[in-house]
Amino acid sequence: MYKRQLLSDALGRKKVLVLAAVCFLVSAVGAALPETLAALVGFRIIGGLGIGAASMTSPLYIAEVAPARIRGRMVALNQLAIVAGMLIVYFVNYAIAHHAAGDTAAARAAVTDALQTSDAASCMPANGGVSPQAASPHAMASNDVASMGLSA
């Protein structure tokens, strides 16, 4: 019988979020200093995998760890942060397109520098926020709690 298991169920929510942060770091550093176009595309794909993992796992982790009285508010703030980030990206893309409209070598170089700087800057919030956090109740229930040094 085929059993499908999500990565966050197999490894735990916290480990998947740390793995996503590592993807963000690798992507940001790699995309900031690419040697070829293929390398840039590859590092952007790694970043996309991190974004996918984080966007699927963070609401689950928040819902499992947050106290019941603020759980909905925390998940809503997570979604608001995602949408606000998308809105900022639209404005940045507009500014890049408007700046690149000159289509000179200097404009293309400025756009390239701006994109590489933004890639490098994106690793700061993603990896600066990795702190010692509790394993989610789901992870503790699915693993041997005694082996973690915790009481049930």
pLDDT at position 60 is 87
Residue 99, pLDDT above cutoff 80:
no
Amino acid at residue number 53: A
- Mean pLDDT score of the chain, rounded to an integer? 76
pLDDT at position 146 is 47
- Quick count: other Cβ atoms within 10 Å of Cβ 50? 22
- Rounded CA-CA distance 113/12 in Å is 38
Residue 142, pLDDT above cutoff 70:
no
- Rounded CA-CA distance 28/116 in Å is 8
Residue 78, pLDDT above cutoff 50:
yes
Residue 145, pLDDT above cutoff 50:
no
User: For the chain, which domains are there?
Assistant: 7-139 (1.20.1250.20)
- Rounded CA-CA distance 140/2 in Å is 25
Annotate 95-112 with three-state secondary structure: HHHHHHCCCCHHHHHHHH
Look up the pTM and report it: 0.64
